[in-house]
A = this chain, B = another copy of it.
């Protein structure tokens, strides 16, 4: 019977929730310890670089998830229309109608940005570029501008949904994008 020793790889999702909830500065080691059930000894064993390394691991984990579930399909799927629709499904599920924030977006706004600038830039650049590629494959001439706008809109919808305490805002945004991005002919 295999027990469940905690592995470093299990931690990023737990850490992510702490950073999402409290931000980089607000995520104290006490909160992290509580969320993971791990003492400082274990945490510094897994992440000798402390909080900064934990956040870096979380960002890498998020990035990897989006690369596998969102960016790569957008770039590679033969059928651009279903790739784009799939992106919207994945994004809707991931952000839970705006109840869950985008950690990378939040880091872009606060001063965690200075620590993780390149990772943050890379995440959004990949997203925009992958979506633009899919839109171009679908025959849209305004692919780059449309992709940039779509990603902006998703990020803004998260902000607005949370601010208004209304998941409807996010849901309407996703529905609107589905129409706009998968229109048969270009705008």
Chain A interface (Cβ < 8 Å from any Cβ of B):
21-26, 101, 104-106, 108-111, 113, 117, 120-121, 123-125, 128, 145, 148-149, 151-160, 162-165, 169, 172-173, 176
Contacts and interface: CB of A to CB of B under 8 A. Distances in A.
Given A106-B109, A145-B176, A163 B120 contact: yes
Nearest to A104: B163
Give the top 3 A-B pairs by smallest Cβ distance, nearest first: A156-B156, A152-B156, A155-B156
A159 B159 contact: yes
Nearest to A124: B163
Contact of A148 (B22, B123, B155, B172): B172
A109 B145 contact: no
Contact of A124 (B101, B124, B164): B164
A187 to B, nearest CB: 10
A23 B158 CA distance: 18
Contacts of A148: 160, 169, 172
